[in-house]
Structure 1
């Protein structure tokens, strides 16, 4: 359901949050290897996450990307989805009709409305602090 860029952005944010909890900054290459994404694509995604105020970066030899722990507890998957893909996934018609609504529904309107609501709920539920803790504790992973 998410674009490939959004999938990579979510995984990158989780990985960087996990590393930041260990007081480590990470470079683009480390992130791309950890989430199995191309380096150049990862670099662009990380720039967007920094410009969006989710991640921070430090220049220099000891620099890299980090995710402030207070921001980890505040930011949710929804914030990354909205930044990368926009909020259309939560508002638009499942068939792409421009004027789909409860009064003028498409054939899958009622079913897709439930999917949109569940997806919205899931993306609001998890903070990056929680997701990073799951990966750190071996309860979840970012690569196959």
Structure 2
């Protein structure tokens, strides 16, 4: 069980996969990405389209086309991926999903969840897309079993 939606999980995995391939100088197609991250191809296509529209990944058409990252994409924070897919609710929302929860009207989990949420926000804003490339390329980390 993850803390992100399945859509966001696939988006992050796809961006890491594309980042790894781009670091090696390659563009990659949707079929290769889907296989590499164990994602349904049709579902992934919609995610990649959204990420491309948001400028998080790049795409080119034609026989040598595919998805890739340019040099500026590698330094973008993971928070950009999450915000593109989930919006900002994960950064401000209640841990129990209550719309009325706030500092003035806290839910039972408010104070403890706020600490966890703040750590998550810090990690997402300080961790970059390209940060894990070397470990992925060397096989020290994996996106699929």
Q: Any conservation in 2 of the 1:32–1:38 contact (CA below 8 Å)? A: yes
Identify the residue that residue 105 of structure 1 maps to in structure 2: 106
TM normalised by structure 1 equals: 0.94
* 2:86 matches 1:89: no
Number of equivalent positions: 143
Q: Deviations over 1:20-59 (max 9, x none)?
A: 1111000000000000000111111110110000111110
- SS of the aligned residue for 1:140 comes to coil
Q: Aligned partners of 2:91, 2:111: CA distance in 1, in Å?
A: 14
- Runs of 4+ in structure 1 over 6 Å off: none
Q: What corresponds to 2:116 in structure 1?
A: 115
The secondary structure found in structure 2 opposite 1:60 is coil
Aligned-CA RMSD value: 1.1
Q: 1:86-118: per-residue Cα shift (whole Å, max 9, x none)?
A: 111110111222221122111110011011111
8 Å CA contact 1:20–1:69 kept in 2: the answer is: no
Gaps of 5+ in 1: none
Is 1:14–1:132's contact at 8 Å kept on the other side of the alignment? Answer: yes
* Cα pair 1:56 1:66 within 8 Å, conserved: yes
1:54: which partner in 2? 56
Partner of 2:22: 20
Single out whichever of 116-125 and 20-29 deviates more from structure 2.
Answer: 116-125
Residue 132 of structure 2 is matched in structure 1 by 131
Match for residue 66 of structure 1?
Answer: 68
Where does structure 2 lack aligned partners over 5 or more consecutive residues? none
Mapped to 1, the partners of 2:69 and 2:23 lie a distance apart of: 8
Distance in 2, matches of 1:87 and 1:110, equals 19
Which structure 2 residues correspond to residues 28-39 of structure 1 after superposition, within 5 A?
28-39=30-41
